[in-house]
A and B are shown apart, each in its own frame.
Chain A
Amino acid sequence: MAEPAKAGGKPQRPLSPHLSIYKPQISSTLSILHRASGVVIGVGSLMLTCWLVALATGPEAFDAVQAFLAGPVGLIIMLGFTAAVNYHMLNGIRHLGWDIGRGYELSTMTRTGVLVVLGAAVLTGLEWACVIAMGGVSL
């Protein structure tokens, strides 16, 4: 076989197909979403830390954190945080099933994947309906 064309002294070798080559599939998309939601929860844990430390510090600190959480930025963070927690928990249960060797059939994997996404959406909706019903957010 001939040596591939050189550019800048380095041989131009073909790369193996990477993420951008593949059509997004439910399996790979949900897998990367699991990691992404985990990182989002990590960022959200900063918010939980602020809230707990403020509650331990005093009323002024607590009111400041509560005011931030009730503002537009705080609400977006809380919405993202709850959605990420719900998805990560439900998909985590799916992962635990795989760990004990269950649910590996392609049809089962697709079904549980869809269930997880729908479940996370429903849970998030219910939680925020509760928040609104309790007067936590005024529409």
Chain B
Amino acid sequence: MSLRTPLGKVRGLGSAKDGTSHFWVQRVTAVALVPLIIWFIYTLLSLVGASYEDARAALAAPGVAVPMLLLLAAGFYHLKLGLQVVIEDYVSNDGLRIVGLIVNNLGCAALGIACVYSVLKIGFGG
């Protein structure tokens, strides 16, 4: 006999209320990041020794800006999920852990937005 309600069973979200979404999104972003990282390394190597103007012109092209935005979105989300697990596993003090998780969430969001804003600004020629 189970004490779980039929609705709870159907939703399958468990006590943390988000079901398997953390696990799943970590994998989906990982799959996206494999080709994006290979592209990113290639792009960085092509920019070795580039001047300010060269680098800006390269990043302003939609063919570079769009994959870069995809990399930033998938990458910072993947980073947030990964660091969250590391903090949950190794920080045993409740207060410190909650502070760590909040800093992780806000930090990854801030860095991600700073990067995305910069790429858009370069792309739109501001």
Contacts and interface: CB of A to CB of B under 8 A. Distances in A.
A25 B75 CA distance: 30
A13 to B, nearest CB: 18
B96 interface: no
Chain A, interface residues (CB within 8 Å), range? 20 to 34
A56 B49 contact: no
Chain B, interface residues (CB within 8 Å), range? 20 to 34
Query: Which applies to chain B's interface (DSSP): helix, strand, loop or mixed?
Result: helix
A134 B34 contact: no
Interface of A: 35, 38-39, 41-42, 45-46, 48-49, 52-53, 55-56, 59, 62-63, 82, 85, 89, 92-93, 95-96, 99, 127, 130-131, 134-136
Interface of B: 27, 30-31, 33-34, 37-38, 41, 45, 48-49, 52, 55-56, 59, 75-76, 79, 82-83, 86, 111, 114-115, 117-119, 121-122, 126
